[in-house]
Amino acid sequence: MSSRTEWAARPGRESLSKRLGKIAKRIAARDGHACVYCGATAQSSGSPLHLDHLTPRNAGGEDVATNLVLACRSCNCRRHDLSLAAWAATARTYMLFTPRSIRAQARRRLPEIAQ
């Protein structure tokens, strides 16, 4: 078992989406159920979408809606713990977003969702 697999399978692990519950679903709705970086959906990417911290947790980022956006597995893995500015500079060749546009997306009001 790889160290990443062992980490993900550790006892008592709860995903960010599970921990945030309805807030995670509202973030997904706010972001159009698509990766904010490349526009991929769960169907087009072939894997579930993830919540990505705009300010990484290791840099003091919190688990709050204004610091979280929806990202596909590919973008989330490529970005890893890069700052949003560094990620935008790295991804510039194949993605059309700016740190300002992503932060504006994260500040949008969360929509209400049906129970």
Domain boundaries, the chain: 14-107
Q: Say if pTM beats, i.e. exceeds, 0.75.
A: yes
- CATH T-level fold of 14-107: DNA Binding (I), subunit A (1.10.30)
At 4 the three-state DSSP class reads helix
Report the distance separating Cα 88 and Cα 52, nearest Å: 14
Q: Are 23 and 66 in contact (CB under 8 A)?
A: no
CA distance 1 to 7: 10
Reading the chain (115 residues) residue by residue, the pLDDT tens digits are 455 555 555 555 567 777 888 999 999 999 999 999 999 999 999 999 999 999 988 889 999 999 999 999 999 998 888 888 888 888 776 677 888 999 999 999 999 987 6
Q: What is the pLDDT of residue 70?
A: 95
Instruction: Check residue 109 and report its DSSP letter.
Output: P
